[in-house]
A and B are shown apart, each in its own frame.
Chain A
Amino acid sequence: MSLAGITSYIKNSYLYRVAKSGSNKVQQAFYDCIPNTSIGSEKWQKRIKWVGSEISSPENRLILGVTALMSQPFIDGHNKNVDAETRRVSVCRTIAKIIAGTSTGVLIRYGCIGAINKWSKLPSSVDKLGQKVKLNKLNTFFSPGNAGHDLSEAVKQYRKTLGTILSLFVMSITNFVIDAPLTRYLTNKFIDKSGGVKHDTSK
C-alpha cells in the first residue's frame, strides 16, 4: 500500500473521524468564547501591518534575547534544585549566554538577509537612484523563478526566509567559533563581578 493509501485509510477510519470530530468540537467551543473584534483604529491597523511587513527573524531574535534577559536569570536564580552558590554561577552563565547568543544571532541574521537581498535581484529591481539593475549570474543567484514584482510583500518575505535559513547554517559554525568562547569569557567576567567562586571555572 502506498503512503497516500495509508493516509487515506487512516483518515477514513472510524476512530480517526471520531477523534477529529471531537477535536473540532473542542476547538470550536474555545473560539466561540472569543468575541468578534474589528480593529477600528487606523493607527493600530498601520502598526499591525508594519509588524507583519518589517519584523522578521533578526528583530524576533532581538525581542527573544531582551525578554530572555528579563526572565531566564530570574528562573535560574530561583532554581531550588541547586544550592545558592551554584545558582549565582548559573545566573552569570545564563546572562553571558543570552548576550553572546543574541548579539551574534541578530548580526548574522541581518548580514545574511542583506546578502540575499543583493543576490536575488529580479527584472523589476531598481537601485537606490531608481535605475534598473543590470542582472548577472551572481545577483540573480538566489532569485526565485516564480516571483512577482521586486517590491511585493511575498518577495520581501522570501528574501528574509532564505536569509534566515542561510544564517542558521552560518551560525552552526559561529556557535563554536564565537558564541562558546564569548560566553565563557563573559561568564568569567560576571562571576568575578559578583564576587568570584571558590573554584576556577574558566577551564
Chain B
Amino acid sequence: MTLLNNMAEITSKKFMGLKNYLYKHYGEEPGKMLVHTGVLSWTLSAAAQVMAVAFNDKISKKEKLFLIPQECADAAINILSFYLVTNAFTNFGVKLVKMGKLTTPKIDKYLKDNKIADIGKITTDISKNMEGEVLDEFKSLKSGISMITNTIGSIASCNILTPILRNEYAARKQKEILSKNNLSNKPNEIPINPNSKPLNMEAYQKLAYSKFSNSGMKV
C-alpha cells in the first residue's frame, strides 16, 4: 500500500508541469479546449482506424498498401476540416469580444470611462488593463461566446462539411479499389465496372465490411 501511495505521489508530481499547463491555458478558454480536444479525438479515432486495417488478417498485404494511405488521407480530411472550420468560428467569436465589438452595458461603461481607443481594430484587446467585476464580466462573455461559436463551427464542420467531403472522397476511392480488385478477379466472379455510376449495392457491401468501421467514427 505504501509502495502504491509513493508511486501515485511520484506520478502525480511527474505530471505537475502538464497539469499546470492545462490549468493555465484552458482554464479560461473552454472553446479553445474543445477545438484542441476535438483534434485529439479525430486523431485517436483515425489512429484506431489505421490500426484496425493494419492488424486485420482478412485484408491482404496488397490491399493494406492501398487502404492505409487511404485511411490517412481520410483522417487528414476529417482533422483539417474540423480544425480549420471550428477554429475559425471560435476565433471569430473570441475576437469580437476582445476587440470590443460585442459587449455588455457594464463593459461599454468601462470603455467610455477609460477612453479606450481603437475599439473594433483586430489588434485590440480591451481586457488589457481590466480588473475586478468588469474583468469577470468580460471573461464570462468571452467564455460563453467562444462556446457558442465553437458549437456552431463544430456542427458546420462535423455534420455538414465533413460528411459531404467524405462521401465524395469515399465514392472515388471505392471505385479505385474496385477497379484494382477487378484486375485480379476470378473468371466466375461478377465483374464490377469501375466506371459505372453510381456505385451499386454489391460493390458497396464488398468494401463496407472489409474494414473495422467507416472512417467517420469520431470518439
Residues of A whose CB lies within 8 Å of any CB of B are: 24, 27-28, 31-32, 34, 36-40, 45, 47-53, 55-57, 60, 63-64, 67-68, 70-72, 75-76, 79-83, 85-86, 89-90, 93-94, 97, 101, 105, 137-138, 140-147, 153-155, 157-158, 160-162, 164-165, 168-169, 171-172, 174-176, 179-180, 183, 197-199, 201, 203
Q: What residues of B have a CB within 8 angstroms of the CB of A64 in the complex? A: 151, 154-155, 158-159
Contacts A/B (CB < 8 Å), 14 sampled:
A31-B96, A32-B120, A60-B34, A64-B151, A79-B171, A83-B200, A90-B204, A144-B22, A145-B16, A146-B24, A155-B23, A168-B44, A179-B213, A201-B205
Q: Decide if B65 is an interface residue (CB 8 Å cutoff).
A: no
Assembly CA distance A38 to B100 (angstroms):
9
Assess A50 versus B144: contact at CB under 8 Å? Given A85-B200, A137-B12.
yes
Tell me the minimal C-beta distance from B85 to chain A in angstroms. Answer: 13
The chain A residue sitting closest to B6, CB to CB, is: A137
In the complex, are the beta carbons of B20 and A175 less than 8 A apart?
A: no
B contact residues, total (Cβ < 8 Å)? 82
In the complex, are the beta carbons of B167 and A81 less than 8 A apart?
A: yes
In the complex, are the beta carbons of B144 and A157 less than 8 A apart?
A: no
Tell me the minimal C-beta distance from A111 to chain B in angstroms. Answer: 14
In the complex, are the beta carbons of B217 and A101 less than 8 A apart?
A: yes
B interface: dominant SS: helix
Give residues of chain B (117-174) contacting chain A, Cβ–Cβ below 8 Å. Answer: 119-123, 139-148, 150-151, 154-155, 158-160, 163-164, 167-168, 171-172
Tell me the minimal C-beta distance from A84 to chain B in angstroms. Answer: 9
Q: What residues of A have a CB within 8 angstroms of the CB of B30 in the complex? A: 52, 55-56, 157, 160
A interface: dominant SS: helix
What number of residue pairs across chains A and B have CB atoms under 8 A from each other?
245
Tell me the minimal C-beta distance from B57 to chain A in angstroms. Answer: 15
Q: Decide if B41 is an interface residue (CB 8 Å cutoff).
A: yes
Q: What residues of B have a CB within 8 angstroms of the CB of A145 in the complex? A: 16, 19-20
Assess A153 versus B27: contact at CB under 8 Å? Given A144-B20, A165-B40.
yes
Q: Which residue of A31, A76, A86 contacts B199 across the interface (Cβ within 8 Å)?
A: A86
Q: Decide if B212 is an interface residue (CB 8 Å cutoff).
A: yes
The chain B residue sitting closest to A81, CB to CB, is: B171
Interface string of B200-219 (1 = CB under 8 A from A): 11101100110011101111
Tell me the minimal C-beta distance from A146 to chain B in angstroms. Answer: 5
In the complex, are the beta carbons of A86 and B143 less than 8 A apart?
A: no
Tell me the minimal C-beta distance from B97 to chain A in angstroms. Answer: 10
In the complex, are the beta carbons of B155 and A38 less than 8 A apart?
A: no
Tell me the minimal C-beta distance from A148 to chain B in angstroms. Answer: 9
The chain B residue sitting closest to A142, CB to CB, is: B19
Q: What residues of A have a CB within 8 angstroms of the CB of B144 in the complex? A: 47-53
